[in-house]
Structure formats: C-alpha cells, structure tokens
Chains A and B, each alone.
Chain A
Amino acid sequence: MSEIHFREMASKSWLNFLTFLCGSAIGFVLCSQLFSILLGEQGDTQPDILHNDPHARHADDNGQNHLEGQMNFNADSSQHKDENTDIAENLYQKVKILCWVMTGPQNLEKKAKHVKATWAQRCNKVLFMSSEEDKDFPAVGLKTREGRDQLYWKTIKAFQYVHDHYLEDADWFMKADDDTYVILENLRWLLSKYNPEEPIYFGRRFKPYVKQGYMSGGAGYVLSKEALKRFVDAFKTDKCTHSSSIEDLALGRCMEIINVEAGDSRDTIGKETFHPFVPEHHLIRGYLPRTFWYWNYNYYPPVEECSIQTHVKSNFYYYSSII
C-alpha cells in the first residue's frame, strides 16, 4: 500500500519538476523575445526584385494610396536654392500648353490627385476628364461610360470640350493619362520650334496600320491648335468615325485622313522623348525581351534608350502612384 503511494508521490513530483522546467523554458523564451524587440536589432532589408512583366501591376497598388485632404507638393514655391529658372519661365509664356488628363471617378483620389499635385501644375492650363462631373476635384463630366472600349469616345468628347471652351487659351493641347508623368519644360522646348498654326501632332510614333504612323496612347500625345481644329471639325463633317475601341490607332487614322502630320519628337541625338512604359523598362538594357511587340512597333530605329541625354521629355506610362 505504501509502495503504491510512494510511486504515486514520485511520479507526481517528477511531473511537477517537468512542468517547472517547461515553465522556465517558456519564460526564458518569452523574455528573450521581449528583450530583442526592446533592443530593436534590425534585420536585413530584403528588397523585392521586379518581374520582367511590363504590364504587371506594382505591389503598391492597394488602397493605402488614398490621400486625405489637400496635398501640397509646393511644386512652384520649393525651388532649388541655386536654381535659375528664367529660361523655363520664358518658355512658359511663349509656348502655352493645355493639358487634359484622362481619368475616371474611381481614379480621382487614387491617381489623378497625384498628377494634380505634381507635374500638372506646370501646364498653362489643366483639365481632368472623367465620365462624370466632380465639382470638388474639379473634373469635367464627359457624359460617357467608363471602360477601355470607351477611350476613343472619351478622347473625342474631351478634345471637343477643350475646343469649345479653351481654344484661344493655349497653342498646344496635350492628352495624358492619370498614370503618366510629363516634364513640361522639355515638352515646351520640343514644341518651341514649331508653329501651332501648322497641322501637326507629336508623341511616341508607332509604325503599323497607319501609313504615316500613329502616336501611342500610353505615352501621351500633343496636338497643335490647327490639328485640334481639324480633328473636331472631322467629326462634324463625318470625315472620321466614332466607332473604335483602340483610341490611339483610331486617332492616328483620323489624323492621316485630315492631313495632320505625325511629327518627329526625338531629341537632337535621335533619342525618343515620349515613353510608353515606366523608366525601368526603358533604362535597363534587355528588360523588354526582343520578342516583345514594342520593338516592332517603333517607327524610328532604336538608339540605345535613355543613355546620355540632356534634353529629354518623358511621358512615363504605367506608373504606380508611388514612384
């Protein structure tokens, strides 16, 4: 009887001892975790390598980019200390550009707001074109639907709106997307050599389908005043048709019909200044595979993209809201 009792006692104290050890181990581990957090030892930052897919959405494309309240990038007031902007300001007066940005109700806060806070401030006039009006943003309501198939329709209506309300306010009329970045100064430098009364338009020239080529929609394009007049007129006189889902191609075809010249927007060394993709895709040699459609579309032979250039105007498309 006492033996059994004794064994029971032994096993109980053995169990006790085990739980004691367990407890101390757990206590030690928890404490060490706590201390390591407090002491804040940093781990290695492991950056993500971008995949070679030009159309891939970037990782930052989640809802965190919603801006609260008024955002002020101080684009005009925060001039660099040692900067002289006389030439740029001179050009601002001489070459007047009206920018209209293709956007939609769901992108106003996500994308268009960033455009508004940054480069758009350097346009002589900027308008945001959406399917619905937004008085607060403010955005013009084109009274269309949204969607990729509506792009050409929106483009036509946008140019029409600009023509009806702002024709005399600018010399050149630029269309950009809400994920495009434009360096206006360089655009002015390009356009300063041309007369806005000539029928001409500029962008990233693609060669297929249209004899004189057409301008890539993604990289943005800019029409002279005469080109705008002819474009709007073409729909009144039925020279161009409304029905097409491929905005840039349809516009390019129309331009050819109405005898608006497709201009050469390359810089003095023959490098392209309008870019349909984000900088990485253009800067890194071999990023875009040789079999990619892009290489066959370019009107001009490719010079080593973006090497040593001083005057480059860039429209970088497919940019996520955060650079």
Chain B
Amino acid sequence: MLSESSSFLKGMMLGSIFCALITMLGHIRIGHGDRRHQHKHHHLQAPNKEDILKISQDERMELSKSFRVYCIILVKPKDVSLWAAVRETWTKHCDKAEFFSSENVKVFESINMETDDMWLMMRKAYKYAFDKYRDQYNWFFLARPTMFAIMENLKYFLLKKDPSQPFYLGHTIKSGDLEYVSVEGGIVLSIESMKRLNSLLGIPEKCPEQGGMIWKISEDKQLAVCLKYAGVFAENAEDSEGKDVFNTKSVGLFIKEAMSNHPNLVVEGCCSDMAVTFNGLTPNQMHVMMYGVYRLRAFGHIFHDALVFLPPNGSDN
C-alpha cells in the first residue's frame, strides 16, 4: 500500500513539473517582445472642450466630415439575435459597417471568413478591410455583437488624433509584459496601424496564425503582439476625468458594482459621460440603449455640443 501511494505521489509531482515546464516554454515564446519597450502605461485622453472651441467654425465642419470610420463586427451563427439587434441599431451610425462571420448565414448578409477561430477571423477581416478600403476610411473599429457603440463619441474622441500616426486604442489590459486592447471593449486602429499590421500578417515569425504553444492565446493578445513588432503600442482611452471611455461591461453591471463598492457615488463613479462602448448587452438592451442615447430627452436640458457628427445618409436612426 505504501509503495503504491508513494508512486502515486511521485507521478503527481512529475506531472505537475512537466506541465509547469510546458507553460513556461510557451510563455517565453510569446514574451519575445521588444526588449527596448519601456515599461509604461499608455493613456490617451479625449479632447478638451476649450481646444475645440479654439478651432474656427468652418474648420470644425471640415473636421467633423473628415472622419470616416469603418466598423468590423465579427459574428458567429450563434450570435444571430445579437447580430440582428446590432444591425438595426448602432452600426447604422458607422460610415460603413460590415459583418464578418465564421460561416455563411442565410438570414443576414455577411462576409464569410470560413473559419471558426477568432484570431484567424480577425486577421482575415483586417486584411480584407485594408485591401478593399484603405483609401476610403481612416479609422477602423472592431467590435463584437454583444457591444453597443456610440460612433459620435468615438469620432469626438479621435478629433485631434492624426490617423497617419499609428494609433491602437480601446480598453487596455496588462498581462505580464504585454499591454493589449481588450476585444471586449472594442479595438480602434488608425489607417497607419492597419498598414503596418497588414505588412506583418504575411510573416509567420512575427504574426503567427497559431500563437500559443499549448494554451490558446486570445485573439486580442495575438493582435497586440503582432502590432508590437510593427512598433504600434496599445493605449487606454480616457476622458478628461480619467474615466475609461471604452467599457467591457454593461451599464447595468457598472451600476451594480458601484452600488456595492461605493454607494455614495453611484452615477458619478460609474461611467464616462462620453463613453464610446459598453459590452455584455442583450438584444433587447441594445434597443433600449438606442432609445436612451439618441431619442429620449429631458425637456429643458440643452446641450451645447461644440461639434455635431451626423449619421451617414440613408440611416434611419
């Protein structure tokens, strides 16, 4: 009996050591990042109202028209009800929105990526978008169908940012040495970042199709690694008060957490007034958000926005 238990224990130990070794090896392969990379947190702020007002009226008009945002939404057949909601609501405010799905779905038009793997879908979508639309759009926004995005706030945020610079923004998370933009909050790439990304997509050493050795690495991390090779770093988007503008949670969840964490400041502490994305919504909630954000108004409250972004022609929202 004793010899059995001791061999069992020996086996367990060997198994764990073996497993740990493999994980370490896998990690070393990923962490092969830029040695020069400064260990800094990158934050990016929204423009100040005063800065906007300094620009002349005509320039402001020109500015508001100069933004062309192309929306990439990665969907799978199981997301069909979310897809329907998203199609009918906020994506109508993108200058162009296209749905990239893992397989052909009869109900809705989409671009078939012919793969189930999220990272492969993302690569193909970015390549497709760049090849086809590089001359027509200067910002590329990638989202999931569980997200609600307010394009006008996105454009306002990008107002003073030059798309010929490599921007890669959203809600960032730090994982060891890697700072990446979480796909759960939406990923924004400028045309310059798209250019650099696409030049690397063909190089398997820098931008492999299968990232991790044993453990599958999420697509947003893979994207970050790829972009890092091109010298594009993730930046966390914040408003003038330091609140995140891209959110990986829904309003309901934020409020729930606020009520238990800091009940004195539920709304104040919750979310930015100029939030761009929320995630984790149900299809019904999309419609409610659409109504709440764009239509419902409290009489007598007038908002003096320095700039207006109109939805593209033909959208009925």
Residue from B9, B49, B291, B297 having most chain A Cβ neighbours under 10 A: B291
Pick the interface stretch among A22-30, A171-179, A252-260.
A22-30
Within the complex, the shortest CB–CB distance from B258 to chain A, in Å, comes to 9
- Picked from A17, A70, A78, A309, the residue with its CB within 8 Å of the CB of B263 is A70
Cβ of B299 and Cβ of A311 under 8 Å apart?
yes
What is the CA–CA distance of A309 and B215 in the complex, to the nearest angstrom?
51
Within the complex, the shortest CB–CB distance from B255 to chain A, in Å, comes to 6
- Picked from B13, B146, B263, the residue with its CB within 8 Å of the CB of A68 is B263
- Picked from B16, B146, B282, B290, the residue with its CB within 8 Å of the CB of A31 is B16
Cβ of A280 and Cβ of B288 under 8 Å apart?
yes
Cβ of B296 and Cβ of A312 under 8 Å apart?
yes
Chain B interface residue count, Cβ-Cβ cutoff 8 angstroms: 63
Pick the interface stretch among B96-104, B129-137, B265-273.
B265-273
What is the CA–CA distance of A68 and B258 in the complex, to the nearest angstrom?
12
Q: B38 near A: Cβ within 8 Å?
A: no
- SS class, residues of chain B in contact with chain A: helix
What is the CA–CA distance of A322 and B169 in the complex, to the nearest angstrom?
30
What is the CA–CA distance of A60 and B13 in the complex, to the nearest angstrom?
44
Cβ of A47 and Cβ of B282 under 8 Å apart?
yes
Cβ of A48 and Cβ of B273 under 8 Å apart?
no
**Across the interface, which residues of B come within 8 angstroms of A82, CB to CB?**
49, 303-306
Cβ of A47 and Cβ of B280 under 8 Å apart?
yes
- Picked from B11, B265, B279, B287, the residue with its CB within 8 Å of the CB of A23 is B11
Closest B residue to A45 by CB, please name it.
B280
What is the CA–CA distance of A49 and B286 in the complex, to the nearest angstrom?
12
**Across the interface, which residues of A come within 8 angstroms of B292, CB to CB?**
279
Chain A window 124-144, contacts with chain B (Cβ cutoff 8 Å), 1 for yes, 0 for no: 000000000000000000000
Within the complex, the shortest CB–CB distance from A186 to chain B, in Å, comes to 5
What is the CA–CA distance of A313 and B103 in the complex, to the nearest angstrom?
44
- Picked from B23, B49, B266, B303, the residue with its CB within 8 Å of the CB of A117 is B266
Which of chain B's residues 69-92 have a Cβ closer than 8 Å to chain A?
81-82
Within the complex, the shortest CB–CB distance from A84 to chain B, in Å, comes to 4
Within the complex, the shortest CB–CB distance from B223 to chain A, in Å, comes to 15
Known: A31-B15, A49-B283, A64-B256. 20 other contacts (CB 8 A): A19-B5, A23-B8, A26-B15, A35-B19, A36-B215, A45-B184, A47-B280, A47-B281, A65-B259, A67-B263, A78-B267, A83-B304, A87-B299, A87-B302, A89-B300, A183-B296, A183-B298, A186-B298, A283-B291, A323-B255
Q: List 15 A-B contacts (CB under 8 A).
A: A23-B7, A23-B11, A23-B14, A24-B12, A41-B215, A68-B263, A69-B264, A70-B264, A73-B267, A80-B273, A88-B298, A185-B300, A287-B284, A309-B295, A312-B295
| Chain B residues at the A interface, C-beta cutoff of 8 Å | 3-5, 7-16, 18-20, 23, 49, 81-82, 146, 175, 184, 215-216, 218, 251-252, 255-256, 259-260, 263-268, 273, 279-285, 287-288, 290-292, 295-306
| Chain A residues at the B interface, C-beta cutoff of 8 Å | 12, 15-17, 19-32, 35-36, 39-42, 45, 47-50, 60, 64-65, 67-75, 78, 80-91, 117, 183, 185-186, 188-189, 279-280, 283-284, 287, 306, 308-312, 314, 322-323
